[in-house]
Structure 1
Amino acid sequence: MGATIMAAGETANPQAAVRTVMLFAGQGSQYYQMGRELQASDAVFRASLARCDQAAGPVEGRSLSQIIYGRPMAESAGFDRQIESAPALLAIGWSLAQSLFARGIRPDLLLGYSLGETIAATVAGVLTLEEAFSLVFENARSFEALLAPAAMLAVLAPAARVMALPGVAAARAELAAINSPQHCVLTLPRAGLAPLMAALEAEGLVIAALPVRYGFHASLLDPAEAAVTAAAARRHFRRPAFPLFSCATAAPLAVLDAAHLWQVARGPIRFEAAIRALAAEGRPLRFVEAGPTGTLAAFARQVLGAQTLALPAINQFGHDLRSMALVEERFR
């Protein structure tokens, strides 16, 4: 069942001169210990994580909090099992949003990146927490059962330049995301990762392999289409409390349904295009990232200019309370 979303331009705060966009990150942004300082010191964040632990239930005998905080950050390269990382990102994104709401920061719209679209929909009330966790668990089991090992590689260079390199074709890599004029992501079979990394490093490019096991946003995901679509079709999608904008279509989300969620997982992520489409509507924008790294906020500044107000709620460098305080100071 689909849910009709608010029309383009309709916002939760139509009189505001500046629109606040809340960003939600996707797979690959996870790391152990994310939000640790908030978990220890912020009552709303801690209670929200406890609510997520309850809604998700045990994951192979452990709570989500135990998974997130049970290992040191230095071991985060191993935080790549979908059945752990996807619900962990949902829990962190939802809990960060609750903490931001408690500080009086109310978005005019929500923009999710890949899995972040499911997180945004959950924050907006389209799915209950229980429904959202059930969906990500079901998808994770389908990916484990149906997909071959794959890799995703972030590249600090224009997409057109990267895709023209011979090593990319040789590795059977596909363009998975365009995040800014100088940043893109490739998806490829796992066997081609080492040769491609060597080829790109020989070109002098800065690269980073993402902690994922499957080939999102590319044809490598196709064997899971029937299972992922059927899982979404069994859910009930409600009208959102906030307007949603999609990185899959670079447009306001008119209907959230199984077909759209498959497009989000299978199609390329168009983050740069989404940010430019929002800017083209003519009203000033500011961005707060309710995700673990602050990478999406950085991409927004790369797209719209360094003067753009785009801040992370937390990041992987610690000082979560300081980051939250800065957001509260600049956004209220």
Structure 2
Amino acid sequence: MMKTAWVFPGQGSQVLGMGVDLLTIDSAKATFDRASVILGWSVLDVCQNDEVKLANTRYTQPSLYVIESILVDLLRQRGLKPDIVAGHSLGEYVALYAAGVFDFETGLELVKRRAELMDLASQGGMTALLGFDREQLEAAIADTEDVVIANDNSTAQVVISGTAAGIAAVVAKIKVKRAIPLNVSGAFHSPMMATAAAEFGKLLAPIDFHDAKIPVLSNVAPIPTTDARKLKAQLDSQITGAVRWREISLQLPELGIERAIEVGPGKVLGGLIKRTCESISVAQVSGISDLESIG
């Protein structure tokens, strides 16, 4: 049987209408109802009717977690199981749920608080860079204060995070095909998120993690592990740490993975994996029609 990775997208992959088709499945409807009790608002209402709210971190992250977790449950009901899991930023919480590290409710409580803390961040920003020389970029960042690589997505795409002045200085020092400022409230995945990370750490500390049933590739340490203590420590450092997705992609063929299934809206992760590792086939599960065709 083909060795398969399940990968879970994060903030930025949301789209109005996502998850609505799942309402026809009783178990999915029950999960949406459980989520409403925890969140105090309806994921379905936001995803169906409010594009402005859906773009807001407080609503984006829990909505993605709930919908992707439902898709995990539905894949399991069809007897499917991955050989390894990974998620991009917020998506790592779904990966941990899929691996049995914590239950749905625990994950959602964590995501809810994470989203609130990140939404309160008001310092700095993020800019996506496409088409650049990596050595030149790394040299510019090393020579510039208050800016880091936040998302190392592929050889041709990164996101830098930091102060407005730091980001502008880096962009001015390098040749880049496109520099796209992101609509976020702060400098996510950078040291500027230290206050939010400290508050989140207080919530995370007493929560029990279980050893994973499936190896997980974490954002900050893309080496497969099932160890609960390591997974918890890695998640604890994720808000300030970089998303090392390029390294995660490169790990997949080394681990014998032949196919990656992106579980959630959009095709961003599948595209990044395919551009990094041409030998790996990619597929998507974002709704009922995809569930019927996957196997």
* Smaller-chain TM-score bracket: 0.7 to 0.9
1:33 aligns with 2:17: yes
Aligned-pair distance for 1:191? 7.3
Alignment counterpart, residue 246 of structure 1, candidates 218, 228, 231 = 218
Structure 1's 79 and 155: CA in aligned 2 closer, same or farther, altered over 3 A?
farther
Alignment counterpart, residue 178 of structure 1, candidates 152, 158, 162 = 152
Report which structure shows greater RCO (CA 8 Å, sep ≥6): 1
Q: 1: distance between equivalents of 2:254 and 2:209?
A: 29
Q: 2: distance between equivalents of 1:325 and 1:206?
A: 38
Q: 1: distance between equivalents of 2:48 and 2:260?
A: 27
Structure 1's 325 and 203: CA in aligned 2 closer, same or farther, altered over 3 A?
farther
Structure 1's 167 and 245: CA in aligned 2 closer, same or farther, altered over 3 A?
closer
Structure 1's 181 and 66: CA in aligned 2 closer, same or farther, altered over 3 A?
same
TM-score (norm 1): 0.76
Aligned-pair distance for 1:132? 1.3
Structure 2 residue identity aligned to 1:236: D
1:269 alignment partner in structure 2: 243
1:255 aligns with 2:227: yes
1:64 aligns with 2:38: no
Structure 2 residue identity aligned to 1:67: V
CA contact 1:33–1:71 (8 Å) conserved in 2: no
Partner of 2:213: helix, strand, or coil?
coil
Alignment counterpart, residue 83 of structure 1, candidates 58, 64, 75 = 58
CA contact 1:93–1:291 (8 Å) conserved in 2: yes
Structure 1's 247 and 167: CA in aligned 2 closer, same or farther, altered over 3 A?
closer
Partner of 1:252: helix, strand, or coil?
coil
Structure 1's 54 and 240: CA in aligned 2 closer, same or farther, altered over 3 A?
same
Structure 1's 149 and 159: CA in aligned 2 closer, same or farther, altered over 3 A?
farther
1:214 aligns with 2:214: no
Q: 1: distance between equivalents of 2:165 and 2:99?
A: 39
What number of residue pairs does the alignment pair up?
293
2:108 alignment partner in structure 1: 133
Structure 2 residue identity aligned to 1:177: N
Aligned-pair distance for 1:276? 1.6
Q: 1: distance between equivalents of 2:164 and 2:60?
A: 19
Alignment of 1:125-204 (within 5 A): 125-145=100-120, 147-158=121-132, 160=134, 163=137, 172-189=146-163
Aligned-pair distance for 1:102? 3.3
Q: 1: distance between equivalents of 2:289 and 2:170?
A: 36
2:93 alignment partner in structure 1: 118
CA contact 1:28–1:212 (8 Å) conserved in 2: no
**In the TM superposition, what whole-angstrom CA distance separates every residue of 1:30-88 from its partner, at most 9, and x where no partner exists?**
2322233x335x526xx3254143135264x531211221225xx5xx63433211111
TM-score (norm 2): 0.84
Structure 1's 56 and 230: CA in aligned 2 closer, same or farther, altered over 3 A?
farther
* Greater Cα shift, 289-298 or 181-190: 181-190
2:259 alignment partner in structure 1: 286
CA contact 1:58–1:64 (8 Å) conserved in 2: no
Structure 2 residue identity aligned to 1:266: T
Structure 1 residue identity aligned to 2:46: I
2:8 alignment partner in structure 1: 24
Aligned-pair distance for 1:311? 1.3
What is the RMSD of the two structures over their aligned residues, measured on CA atoms? Answer: 3.1
- In structure 2, runs of 5+ residues without a counterpart are none
**In the TM superposition, what whole-angstrom CA distance separates every residue of 1:6-40 from its partner, at most 9, and x where no partner exists?**
xxxxxxxxxx4x3110001122322322233x335
Structure 2 residue identity aligned to 1:120: A
1:300 alignment partner in structure 2: 273
* Greater Cα shift, 109-118 or 247-256: 247-256
Structure 1's 233 and 164: CA in aligned 2 closer, same or farther, altered over 3 A?
closer
**In the TM superposition, what whole-angstrom CA distance separates every residue of 1:102-158 from its partner, at most 9, and x where no partner exists?**
34432112112222111111222221221112112223333345x324322222224
1:101 alignment partner in structure 2: 76
Partner of 2:158: helix, strand, or coil?
strand
